[in-house]
């Protein structure tokens, strides 16, 4: 990770995990504890009880820092504490720093930047599926497939060639309509032909997060 972007992201994260009260810096240890638990990060015993969870998060490097920010955004969303100004500042930093990542549209994490036409088509398909009274969980399947391919969830599969399930397939390179009712070999339970996820999403190589004893850097 280039230092110019790493320092800016760490400063942004520290601001999000702390606040000033009466001239003192107060750390959000509750949020820090949750993020550490989710990412299996060990608290820094050498730090005081006030920031033993915050320190290892802010000191994360490379892909680990991206995972921390991703979980921070998810926690903010889940607890109803999303700050649009805070999110806008992060998006500006990522854009100006030339990052390969952006803030997801619903502000619940980071995702890889996709071709705008692909992103718009997927977004419209999710909206259309949600509007269909008979769609069932098609919209959820589409949203999950998108997140699995572009999101930074630490446990997402590294192989993006996973096929869609019902409601997640493609017809002629575009997301499906829940109205299709075809059945038989080669068709999903939703009645549309099953295509690999690459048909919707640009091909890319996905690497597992580095182990703590590996030293490597990557432009993000």
High-pLDDT (> 90) share of the chain, %: 39
Rounded Cα distance, 44 and 21, in Å? 24
pLDDT 10s digits, 97-147: 999 899 998 999 998 886 555 556 656 665 666 666 655 565 566 556 555
pLDDT of residue 126: 58
Q: Which residue has the higher pLDDT, 169 or 156?
A: 156
Question: What pLDDT, in 10s, does the model give residues 5-39?
Answer: 999 999 999 999 999 888 888 999 999 999 999 99
Q: Which pLDDT score, from 0 to 100, does residue 3 have?
A: 78
**Measured distance CA(189)–CA(170) in Å, rounded:** 13
The counts of H helices and E strands in the chain are: 7, 4
> What pLDDT, in 10s, does the model give residues 56-110?
999 999 999 999 999 999 999 999 999 999 999 999 999 999 998 999 989 999 9
Q: Cα–Cα distance between 153 and 71 in angstroms, integer?
A: 8
Q: Are 125 and 119 in contact (CB under 8 A)?
A: no
Q: Copy the structure tokens of residue 1.
A: 């990770």
| Reported confidence tier of residue 206, pLDDT bands at 50, 70, 90 | very low
How far apart are alpha carbons 100 and 113 in whole angstroms?
A: 6
On whether the pTM is more than 0.75, the answer is: no
Please report, for the chain, the start and end positions of each structural domain, with discontinuous segments joined by +: 3-112, 116-199
């Amino acid at each position: 990770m280039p230092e110019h972007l790493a320092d800016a992201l760490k400063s942004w994260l520290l601001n999000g995990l702390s606040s000033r009260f009466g001239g003192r810096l107060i750390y959000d240890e509750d949020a820090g504890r949750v993020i550490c638990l989710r990412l299996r990060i060990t608290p820094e015993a050498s730090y005081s009880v006030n920031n033993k969870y915050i320190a290892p998060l802010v000191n994360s490097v490379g892909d680990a820092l991206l995972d921390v920010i991703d979980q921070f955004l998810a926690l903010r969303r889940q607890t109803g504490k999303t700050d649009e100004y805070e999110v806008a500042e992060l998006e500006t930093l990522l854009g100006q720093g030339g990052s390969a990542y952006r803030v997801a549209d619903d502000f619940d994490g980071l995702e890889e930047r996709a071709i705008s036409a692909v992103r718009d088509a997927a977004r419209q398909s999710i909206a259309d599926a949600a509007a269909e009274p008979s769609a069932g969980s098609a919209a959820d399947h589409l949203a999950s497939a998108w997140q699995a391919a572009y999101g930074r969830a630490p446990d997402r599969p590294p192989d993006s060639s996973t096929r869609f399930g019902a409601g997640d397939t493609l017809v002629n390179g575009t997301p499906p309509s829940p109205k299709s009712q075809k059945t038989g070999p080669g068709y999903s339970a939703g009645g549309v032909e099953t295509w690999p996820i690459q048909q919707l999403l640009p091909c890319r190589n996905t690497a597992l997060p580095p182990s703590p004893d590996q030293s490597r850097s990557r432009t993000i």
